[in-house]
Amino acid sequence: MKWLTCVLAFALAPACMGQWEMGVLGGYGFPREVDVNSRSGVSGKTGFKHGAAFGVMAGDDMHNYVGGELRYLYRMGDMKLTAPGADVQFNAQSHLIHFDLLFYARPKRERVRPFIAVGGGARVFQGTGVESSYQPGSSLVVLTHTRETTPLASVGAGVKVKATDRISFRVEMRDYISPLPTKLIAPMGGSTVGSWMHDIVPMVGLGVTF
């Protein structure tokens, strides 16, 4: 994680030298399930449950139509497996750290500014449940108490509205794309699982400019 910290610090350096914004974020995530198939022909769905997301951000408009933001997001959402004879849930959470470029449709002086966002970083998945000697559906995957860090891509769109010169509100939608954490959701007996997961997270935010 040291390399990620260095990269993000370098990317955010222009914001730290001038006027910058800090804020809080809140939303709710809707991750897409992935398919899992065994060699014997049994199939199911696995992934993460819907859950709340909370975070903080810091950034600045580096140019008239381009801004940058560093974000941390705490994502609630247990692991799950649905298959014939199995409906398993396992406590889990994740932490997302990423830097995004924001491309605005209107310049800084405008009160309402639609934007699109593109960025990347890392996502730390953590299984927090209690493992047992037998888990239903274990011929497909086993949900484990472990930690795994994966690359993260962030894409989305939204709109930022100035309430005053210092305070702004935003509404946005993000798609967080990452490889499925196969240490947490471990394929068994030659089972195959989908490679990528999409986590769709609508959010609202409040920012204060300094």
Query: Collapsing DSSP states into helix, strand and coil, what is residue 2?
Result: helix
pLDDT digits (tens, 9 = 90+) for 43-73: 999 999 999 999 999 999 888 999 999 999 9
Instruction: Quote the CA–CA distance of 17 and 19 in Å, as a whole number.
Output: 7
What domains can be seen in the chain, in order of their start residue?
2-209 (2.40.160.20)
pLDDT digits (tens, 9 = 90+) for 160-197: 999 998 999 999 999 999 999 999 999 998 899 988 99
Non-local CB neighbours of 26 within 8 Å, separated by 6+ positions: 52, 53, 54, 55, 203, 204, 205
pLDDT of residue 3: 44
Beta strands 34-37; 192-193: pairing state = antiparallel
Query: Collapsing DSSP states into helix, strand and coil, what is residue 8?
Result: helix
Query: Collapsing DSSP states into helix, strand and coil, what is residue 182?
Result: coil
In one letter, which amino acid is 58?
Answer: A
pLDDT digits (tens, 9 = 90+) for 75-84: 999 999 999 8
Beta strands in the chain (DSSP E): 21-31, 34-37, 43-48, 51-60, 66-76, 79-83, 86-90, 92-104, 112-127, 141-143, 147-162, 167-179, 185-187, 192-193, 196-209
Which token pair is 62?
């580096």
When computed from its CA atoms, the radius of gyration of the chain, rounded to whole angstroms, is 19
Residue 8 pLDDT > 90 = no
In one letter, which amino acid is 62?
Answer: M
The predicted model scores a pTM of 0.88
Instruction: Quote the CA–CA distance of 189 and 77 in Å, as a whole number.
Output: 26
